[in-house]
A and B are shown apart, each in its own frame.
Chain A
Amino acid sequence: MNRLGTVFWVVLALASGLTMYMVKYGVQNLEDELARVRKQTVAEQLEIRVLNAEWSYLTQPARLAELNKQFVSLAPIATKQLQQSIGNIPLRALSEPPAPEPPAELSVQAAPPHAAALPARDLPVSPVALTPVALSPVALNLASAPVPQAARPVQPTRGLDELFAQIAGRH
């Protein structure tokens, strides 16, 4: 009985020692991993900063205006295109047969706020409401809105590098 007890305690001590060893090394590995991830996080944050700056540089109004002139030739929105706000367009009478359901993303864009409560098929989205005339002026800010796909074939721009090079020129 006494010997059995001794064996039990010895085994227990060995097992706990082994567990401790494994946990310690496990933790150490995790610490290393954590340090690595942290370093990477900081690097990514710095990179995001650079990318934000580059995005701003590439979307500056002067450049967009230039690209617009080069590729799409959109003009500033004319006053006559804005004679009505979307809220002034009357709702379709409910008794009429429902219009074909518009694509979801268009209905979201063009629906006046007060129509949100109506069932989807009664949304006052007609072809008229979807013309540029009725869209919100801000969404159609042609002079400086980001230029759509048409601007893709831009010659590869060096972007930030170019500007950095300019700045560095004075050193």
Chain B
Amino acid sequence: MLSIQRQDENPCRPRHFKPAPCAPIVTDAQANVRIETCRTRLLVTAVLFLAIFVMVGLRLADIVLITGAAAEPRLARAKPVMAPPIRADIVDRNAMLLATTLDSPSLYADPHQILDAREATRALSTVLPELDPAKIYAELTSAKSFVWLKRHLTPRQQYDVNRLGIPGFQFEHEERRFYPFGNLAAHVVGYTSSFDNTGLGGVEHALDGSLKEHHEPLQLSLDARVQFVLRDELARVVQEFSAKGAAGIIMDARTSEVVAMVSLPDFDPNHPLGPSQQDHGGNQPAVEVKDQIFNKITLGDYELGSVFKIFNTAMALDSGVATMTSGYDASRPIEIGRFTIEDYHGKHRWLSVPEIFMYSSNIGSARMAVAAGADRQKGFLGRLGLLQKANIQLAEVSTPHFPRPWREINVMTIAYGHGIAVSPLECVTAVAAIVNGGILHPATLLKVPAGSEPQGDRVISAKTSEQMRKLMRLVVEYGTAKMAAAPGYVVGGKTGTAEKNLGGHYEEKKLVSTFIGAFPMNEPRYVILALVDEPHGTTASHGYATAGWTVAPATSRIIQRIAPLLGVVPVDESSPEITRALQVESLAGKRIDDY
């Protein structure tokens, strides 16, 4: 074609002459070369395309047939869907829900979009009767473009409002922390801010970061059933003895897991700043919000009184200063400086170590402590963790108060629990170590997996621990805590009644009565502390407000109710194995004076 055109454009050609339309004559050799070139080019292109198609085909086969299954999970649409991440739930050791986060829509309106404010108000008040129609009407006719009508609706209320079909009503998605059990574990679980659900107290506060990050439920060591029993019985003590408050803790003796922790008065974490005015007609005795929020178990520090004789006796026995058969003169009060140390119910004679413990002799205990010396006493209490801040998953933890310098008079008073103030939590943790064979575990609020025993430090020998168990059993059998006995559960313990130290002097009428015990004493499983703040004697207790009459009977009831829940099988307390295991040899065969 090119050659034809070229010929046709010959300038020398006459106008009328048109050459015959035929291809110019080319030689065979020339033509063949050109055809060959074309073919080669075509072939190369074809091969190139073929190669590309084969590659695409192979890749397709590879994706669909071979690696298809493996590639699938990488696709965004194959990923499982989850509800939007929220603050983790808190559950008890049996996975009962203690705190959860719920979707809680809030209703607002744009008054500009409301067509008929009167009708909208009427319709809304059929669904949300608690709203004040006059106020709603005023809001809906205002010139604003955003008015809150009600915050935190239930799912049902949201459905009802939606069904009204009123334009201009909108929902704002909000989340709110919800505590199904209310007051039950208020101090342990804590509470959150109602605006952004940030933890403000308890575990919610102390583990705020981890609750925000993780979405698996946080499992506590608490047992909601045991917690209920403890709270129920303590509330009864408060009522019976018109007390200011009470507190209790139950701890696993082997792992130091806190199974229950109650501090009364308590609060409802669903509205921690106190019930609104219309909920309670204002005729209830006003309890200060700060008293309710205050956790007596961890934040309170009390001079626990004779309960400290457990530590004093364990120190004397473990260091070899005293043995079960040695004794001290408790016939006369000790005069030191301007103080006089005397016994509450003095025996006025020489007392052996078991007797000192059983009759709770201050004089004997003080003499025992002096024999051991200040350094040994301070070192021993330090080893038990009673001189530093407790380490637990709560921020509300107090620092113990103890004398500096540690003088001889302090040695004597600390022997029977005065002049040193510790939190009940630390006391229970230390007693758990005394009775469990001598291993101190840090207290924990998190569930320890069954079968694993956490690492602990040996604080006393197994032999001392066994002797202490015998002595504590003696107190319940013959001593000040007879009312704590729970038949079948071999309870042992020690009472302590201390006058409150208010501004440097002791108030005779303001007592803190404490019982700390463990059961079953032959092989302790649980340690329990019950404390009542400012109890008043009743006619039934013959006017006594001491621990033996207030918290000891409550402990007996608590143990009888919780032992079946905790799987503690009752035993025959008079069986030879039990009596042999808990017999104090030095008292065997002797007549034991009644306390």
Binding site for B on A (CB under 8 A): 31, 34, 38, 41-42, 45-47, 49-50, 52-57, 59-62, 65, 76-79, 82-83, 85, 136-138, 140-141, 143-144, 160-161, 163-171
| A52 x B97 contact (CB < 8 A) | yes
Q: Quick one: CB contact mask for B245-280 with A, threshold 8 Å, 1 for yes?
A: 000000000000000000000000011010110110
Nearest first, the 6 closest Cβ-Cβ pairs linking A and B are A56-B180, A61-B228, A137-B564, A56-B97, A45-B83, A57-B180
Q: Is the CB of B561 within 8 A of A76?
A: yes
A85 with B224, Cβ < 8 A, contacts A49-B102, A170-B273 known: no
B182 contacts the other chain (Cβ, under 8 Å)?
yes
**Interface class of chain A by DSSP:** helix
- State A160–B276 Cα separation when bound (angstroms): 18
Mind listing 18 A-B residue pairs with CB under 8 Å?
A47-B155, A49-B102, A50-B103, A50-B155, A53-B178, A56-B100, A56-B180, A57-B180, A57-B181, A61-B227, A62-B181, A76-B564, A79-B563, A137-B565, A140-B564, A141-B225, A160-B154, A171-B152
Interface residues of B in 122-179 (CB under 8 A from A): 130, 150-157, 176, 178
Q: Is the CB of A167 within 8 A of B224?
A: no
Instruction: Find chain A residues with CB under 8 A from B178 CB.
Output: 53, 163, 167
CB of A167 within 8 A of CB of B180, answer: no
Interface string of B509-551 (1 = CB under 8 A from A): 0000000000000000000000000000000000000000000
| B225–A85 touching, CB < 8 Å | no
B102 A50 Cβ-Cβ under 8 A: yes
Find the A residue at minimum CB distance from B176: A167
Q: Roughly how many angstroms separate A42 CA and B103 CA in the complex, as a whole number?
A: 12
**B487 adjacent to chain A (CB < 8 Å):** yes
B167 CB to closest chain A CB (Å) equals: 24
**CA distance in complex: A164, B276 (Å):** 13
B180 / chain A contacts, CB cutoff of 8 Å = 53-54, 56-57, 60, 163
| B73 in the interface (beta carbon within 8 A) | no
Please tell me if the beta carbons of B150 and A144 are within 8 angstroms of each other in the complex. Answer: no
Of A42, A79, A136, A165, the contact of B83 (CB 8 Å cutoff): A42
Residues of B within 8 A of A137 (CB): 563-565, 567, 569
CB of B456 within 8 A of chain A?
A: no
Q: Are A62 and B228 in contact (CB under 8 A)?
A: yes
Report which residue of B96, B104, B565 has the largest number of chain A beta carbons within 10 angstroms of its beta carbon.
B565
Question: How many Å from the CB of A74 to the closest CB on chain B?
Answer: 13
Within residues 222 to 243 of chain B, which ones have a CB less than 8 A from any CB in chain A?
Answer: 224-225, 227-229, 232
Q: Which of B83, B153, B279, B570 contacts A83 (CB 8 A)?
A: B570
Q: Is the CB–CB distance between B270 and A143 below 8 Å?
A: no
Tell me which residues across on chain A come within 8 A of B561, comparing CB atoms.
Answer: 76, 143
List residues of chain A with CB within 8 A of the CB of B77.
Answer: 31, 34
**B225–A61 CB distance below 8 A:** yes
Q: Does B489 contact A (CB under 8 A)?
A: yes
Q: Say if the beta carbon of B184 comes within 8 Å of chain A.
A: yes
Quick one: which of A49, A138, A163, A170 contacts B564, CB cutoff 8 A? A138
A169 in contact with B228 given A56-B96, A161-B154 (CB within 8 Å): no
Chain B residues near A79 (CB-CB < 8 A): 486-489, 560, 563, 570
Contact A38 B569 (CB under 8 A): no
Contacts of A167 in B (CB 8 A): 152, 176, 178, 270-271
Cβ–Cβ contact B565 & A164, under 8 A: no
Q: Is the CB of A163 within 8 A of B560?
A: no
Docked complex: B473-505 residues within 8 A CB-CB of A = 486-489
Contact A144 B225 (CB under 8 A): yes
A49 to B88, CA, bound (A): 12
In the complex, what residues of B have CB within 8 A of residue A163's CB? 178, 180, 270
The yes or no answer to B2 lying at the interface (CB within 8 A) is no
Least CB distance, B62 to chain A, in whole angstroms = 19
Give the CA-CA distance A143 to B225 in the complex, in Å.
9
Query: Chain B contacts of A78 at CB under 8 A?
Result: 560
CA distance A55 to B152 in the complex (A): 20
Contact A82 B570 (CB under 8 A): yes
What 16 new A-B contacts, CB under 8 Å, besides A57-B180, A76-B564, A144-B565? Answer: A49-B102, A52-B97, A55-B97, A61-B225, A61-B227, A62-B182, A79-B487, A79-B563, A137-B567, A141-B225, A144-B228, A144-B229, A166-B271, A169-B271, A169-B278, A170-B275
Q: How long is the Cα–Cα vector from A166 to B277 in the complex, in angstroms?
A: 11
**Residue pair A170, B271 in contact (C-beta under 8 Å):** yes
Instruction: Let me know if B100 and A143 touch, CB within 8 A.
Output: no
Question: Is B82 in contact with chain A by the CB < 8 A criterion?
Answer: yes
Residue numbers in B under 8 Å from A83 (CB-CB):
488, 570, 572
Q: A171 vs B195: C-alpha distance in the bound complex, in angstroms? A: 11
Q: Which residues of A contact B572 (CB under 8 A)?
A: 83
Q: Quick check: B155 and A56 within 8 Å, CB to CB? A: no
B81 close to A (CB within 8 Å): yes
State the CA gap A62–B178 with chains docked (Å). 17
Distance (Å) between the CB of B78 and the closest chain A CB?
A: 9
- How far apart sit A61 and B96, CA to CA, in the bound complex (Å)? 11
Closest to A30 in B: B77
Indicate whether A53 sits within 8 Å of B276 (C-beta atoms), given known contacts A160-B154, A163-B270. Answer: no
Quote the shortest CB–CB distance from B404 to chain A (angstroms).
45
User: What is the bound-complex CA distance between A166 and B182, given in angstroms?
Assistant: 11
Instruction: Kindly list chain B residues whose C-beta atoms are within 8 Å of the C-beta of A61.
Output: 181, 184, 224-225, 227-228
Contact across chains for A168 and B152 when beta carbons are under 8 A apart: yes
